[in-house]
Structure 1
């Protein structure tokens, strides 16, 4: 408490100084000279779409959202403590690539092949971040990336979440680490991306509080004295793997370098990127030619020479280009999943049945998967907005999976199953002179446990290039997927749940329209679901034979008015069959910011409020033994605003935040549950810091 008091006093003095300073206006509010820019690439596993993205490692807006499940458009119901299971409040039936075991309750925490970052930094880059708060909540992360040799870059990402929580047996202990690298030959004909990742999550499961009235009527203010349903249950989730992706480019490298020779420095401009090489400082900067280094300068060109990039003598400055086409690609993936659920008291009355052992529950699931994928991609012509006027990608993937279901540690009882799957897929796009771009996708899977899975979709974009800064872009898409249910719905055998089902395929027809312009995005989604499979009120899988539909209307806006910023996301959803699928009618988050630069831009300060809200509905309940959510008709959740107050500030390369989380706690009742029997945390203070290093 003493440290919190010191922090509050220091920040109060900083806020008071606002009134003693003349606020910076207009263009004065810009990045400090003591910054640099780092880019990264995420790998799309099957379809084109990867691009180079800029890291917002100096941006204050949104920095206070320290929880991984909180984002611009992500709205989730969580089990009362950071790092535990969660469920999205926004319906999204998009199928995942690979083995679909169960609807994910951990994806935002995982380091996965599709969210691991391959960094592009010309100087060694590191970031260290740490935050702590009430309930002994701690988050820690480390990032490092650098060039080892010409064309070889290596990096590491590590994330740790450890939080005791306010209620008994609510602890989360999550750790993730990923090592990644990229290698490109001097002639840029060969490129390779590779990573090793390991995720380990250990959750104490309390099954929720036993008597909701102790919380909702505030009969017991000491939260750790409220009785819980499970006193010795735990979930251990492990996911790890290896990823190697190799490219052989057979076409001409379209990327040329424009070398600008100046008396002090040399610059290479690659289409929409620049590489600045100085004697003492090296910085990767954006297209406005503003050099951010030891001094705030602007590049003045003296002489220009066009030469191929491959001949530029820049040791250690070759990176994977995701926008390059005309290649053959091989991808090897190994994934290992291990899940263990234990409970020292199966006869607590929480579970509906006991099948194997009434003394101790020991349910384990192991799944190993080896995958090899071969892809051809080639195109012809060039057009505005894409590298090729016509682009074709076709591929085939073979997957070997081994599934082991263990249910008695002492007797070493288990069930083994082997799966073989072959998936073929193709993608075709055509760009009509930059006016419009049409894209089509098709894929088919043969082999257990997802035999016959297939999908086809088409999308039209007007215009074909990024026109968001002008009158905007309009996209429309139509698709249909026929999918076997996730494997947990097909087969599961454990101490408390057992079934083997042949539900057949569920069909999902989707139609989407979206408009995006500058800082505004709005869209409408429509889904028709036939044969939908879900967990009923007994947490058992059932199939809904009648078709039903889901409609969604959403909007995202980022508005700037002088020193004020307003970021808002909201969605309206309508489900024609609420007996099987429950989502709130309205849900959204709005954040308001006031930003000011102080002390000749040595300190950047931002204060504001953030509000999250969703209308009342029968939110799904949680079953720890399945790590899954199921429908219930007893408790309505929602109709409660969660308000946070925050201060973000930056000094040179360090960013800090101070958040009063849920500051309205107790002011309007005690009905703040997002998951039945799992109250959200009371009001609490959080502090965090993030520090960048470029050497």
Structure 2
């Protein structure tokens, strides 16, 4: 298997590196030093900084240049991130099998890009974008292994390794692999995410470069969910159907796969000499080169005409491709008085489409959208007297691909505990490519709207307050014009007619989220509550009014504080609403107003422990499923997962 070969190669690299670095630092001292620094109770222990690197030297640099360091502590935030996406998934609800997709319970309109996205958004939750990539700087090699059990058969494993070959050059390699059969028929998931990064800085620090390569494959067997006539068998809790393999899905011969590879390089050269930097002036040349090639393919051995409608052929094979080449050149100027200012000229070569032209109802549906787009963008950042001011803007110099964005942010540290922030986001861009052009062997899934659809225009104002002593508050209000979505237009002879649609009126959308962790001794109650409201003439953007997550937990340190222990219960809930449906052919969610879902509690019992740099997670997911009613769905005809016990760990070790 490709996954096994890649993982084997990875461990060969690790073992060779371990052998070559055996004489650097005693691993037991290194791990003990890291453990001491991450354990608040060990502050009295001294670390000889001449012999051992401290934890703050293990740096993680985001794509935005924000820098953090490795954190091996155990907290609720780590529990919330211990999932397939490896990030807090509040506001999402997963499908029954790990790696399928997520239905969104909230919507963020703020955007900082001016070109359409590829589409097949249901496959992109686990797809690493360029803005998701991280770069590293470490004094000694660092390895992290993340493991979690899956459903029926399979597992999730993410293996990561990074090393500084010298003080100037860092290299990292990581591979996340998943395979899970799932509890329902024909619901297998398989994904691979290979990421390679490096960054370099010259001895005189005038030249800096960082780059990455990714290869990603996200495959899902598709079954269309359970049949309409079986919904009553599911919701009634009929014992004959508690074995979920008994359900006959809508079809059992389809799969969708998203594959993408990307090559990226970002490098800068400082024009000013190092001695000039003392005068607080810095001028840099900037250049970025990126090439991404991706495609989404839906394959079905025989057409499901009772589900998707009539078809052109006896075998379905739809493939949409996108080749996206981007490069830019620019300058960056920094001065202590005026801050940092960047200006870039960007060029994009876009090629999206299919292999052949479709003739439908005496109308040709073309197979390509191609464009060469010039754009300008700039950034500004300044820090003074506790204020952080940041701004970004971009403009496409193209008639066919017109678009722009403006983003402004100002933050202020009121005191040691309270941080205030406000932001303004304005954007205008074309809808995603699969709204503009789509071809399929199914007749109902062919359209060409390029030139007919207007830009989606959004304006968002947001405010936030961060305070560990009081609470965190996030508030935003958005205006959306020309909102574009997939819509359930109707049902004809049992076939759902899904079409792209652009809403011509204005949508107003408000969100406010509160978070507070209440603690009393060794007990705690962590609360996150989201309220949202949509105002529009039609129900085109559906979200639940309230989404909440409340965690009651106990935390302590045992065995002379060698083990950190946490246990508790997580309560998740969202109010009933017209939940978006899922279309496996498009790999998209669509708006529907026929079926109200939600209003069911999800209770997870967890026991977490940390021993040195190893965090262990044992979670009984949805343990209330058998006694609070079988009305839990992630989308119409797609049930949420039943009670299951899952185990996993995150292991960091330093050489």
Q: Distance in 2 between matches of 1:227 and 1:558?
A: 44
> Which residue number in structure 2 is paired with residue 94 of structure 1?
110
More displaced 10-residue stretch of structure 1: 114-123 or 63-72: 63-72
Say if 1:64 and 1:658, in contact at 8 Å, map to a contact too.
no
Which sits farther off after the overlay, 640-649 or 367-376? 367-376
Query: Deviation of residue 343 (structure 1)?
Result: 1.0
Matched, 1:694 2:654: yes
Partner residue in 1 for 2:97: 81
Aligned residue in 1 for 2:539: 579
The runs of 5 or more residues in structure 2 that have no matched partner are 1-38, 359-364, 489-496
The match for 1:335 among 263, 267, 292 is 292
Q: 1:363·1:408 contact (CA, 8 Å) conserved in 2?
A: no
In structure 2, relative to structure 1, the CA distance for the partners of 1:477 and 1:523 (3 Å cut) is same
TM-superposition CA deviations, 1:613-635 (whole Å, max 9, x none): 11100100000110001111232
Q: Which residue of 2 aligns with 1:59?
A: 74
Q: Distance in 2 between matches of 1:206 and 1:159?
A: 25
The residue correspondences of 1:369-384 to structure 2 (distance < 5 A) are 369-381=324-336
Which aligned pairs between 1:487-526 and structure 2 lie closer than 5 A? 487-496=433-442, 497-501=445-449, 502-518=452-468, 520-526=471-477
Distance in 1 between residues matched to 2:639 and 2:517, nearest whole Å: 31
Change (3 A) 1:326 1:672: farther
Q: Is the 8 A contact 1:426 1:442 kept in 2?
A: yes
Native 8 Å contact 1:420 1:448 kept in 2: no
SS of residue matched to 2:165: strand
Task: Using structure 2 for the length normalisation, give the TM-score.
Answer: 0.83
User: Which residue does the alignment assign to 2:526?
Assistant: 567
- State how 1:652-671 maps to structure 2 within 5 Å: 652-671=612-631
What does residue 529 of structure 1 align with?
A: 480
**Is the 8 Å Cα contact of residues 351 and 370 (structure 2) preserved in structure 1?**
yes
TM-score of the aligned structures, taking structure 1 as reference length: 0.79
Q: Structure 1 CA distance, aligned partners of 2:89 and 2:305?
A: 39
- 1:123–1:435: structure 2 CA closer, same or farther, 3 Å change rule? closer
Partner in structure 2 of residue 557 of structure 1: 516
CA positional deviation for 1:252: 6.5
1:259 aligns with none
Q: Does 1:187 align with 2:204?
A: yes
1:198 equivalent to 2:211? Answer no
**1:539 aligned counterpart, secondary structure:** strand
Q: 2 CA distance for matches of 1:99 and 1:563?
A: 49
Whole-angstrom distance in 2 between the partners of 1:669 and 1:124: 50
Contact 1:332 1:371 in 2 (8 A): yes
- What does 1:349-364 align with in structure 2 at a 5 Å threshold? 349-354=306-311, 356-357=312-313, 359-364=314-319
2:416 aligns to what? 469
Q: Map Cα deviations across residues 582-616 of structure 1 (whole Å, 9 max, x no partner).
A: 01100122223311111112222111111211110
3-state SS of paired residue (1:551): strand
How far apart are residue 173 of structure 1 and its match?
0.3
Q: Does the 8 A contact of 2:116 with 2:430 survive in 1?
A: no
Give the structure 2 partner of residue 344 of structure 1. Answer: 301
Give CA deviations for 1:34-90 in whole Å, capped at 9, x if unaligned: 99553201113xxxxx21112323334343342134744632133322111223211
Does structure 2 retain, via aligned residues, the 8 Å contact 1:365–1:405? yes
Aligned residue pair count = 583
Q: CA deviation at 1:27?
A: 5.7
Conserved 8 A contact 2:101-2:122: yes
SS at match of 2:76: coil
Q: Residues 308-333 of structure 1: CA distance to partner in whole angstroms, max 9, x if unpaired?
A: 9xxxxxxxxxxxxxx99642211110
Task: Name the CA shift for 1:399/1:324 in 2 (closer, same or farther; >3 Å).
Answer: farther
| Offset from partner CA, 1:181-211 (integer Å, 9 cap, x none) | 1111111000110111011011000111012
Equivalent of 1:159 in 176, 179, 182:
176
Q: CA deviation at 1:255?
A: 13
Q: In the alignment, does 2:399 pair up with 1:399?
A: no
Pair 1:134–1:204, CA change in 2 (3 A): closer
Equivalent residue of 1:349, what SS?
A: helix
The 1:437/1:29 distance shift into structure 2, 3 A limit, reads: closer
Unaligned runs of 5+ in 1: 1-25, 45-49, 257-307, 309-322, 383-388
Q: Is the partner of 2:233 in helix, strand or coil? A: helix
CA distance in 2, matches of 1:541, 1:685: 40
Q: Hey, what's the Cα distance between the residues in 2 that align with 1:429 and 1:134?
A: 47
- Equivalent-residue separation in structure 2 for 1:468 and 1:536 (angstroms): 48
Cα gap change, 1:31 to 1:509, in 2 (>3 Å): farther
CA contact (8 A) 2:281 2:334 kept: no
2:161 aligned to 144, 148, 167, which one?
144
RMSD: 2.8
Q: Is the 8 A contact 2:112 2:406 kept in 1?
A: no
Distance in 1 of aligned mates of 2:121 and 2:110: 12
Identify, as 1 or 2, the structure richer in helix: 2
- Kept in 2: contact 1:475–1:515 (CA 8 A): yes
From the superposition, tell whether residues 253 and 73 of structure 1 become closer, same or farther in structure 2 (CA, over 3 Å). farther
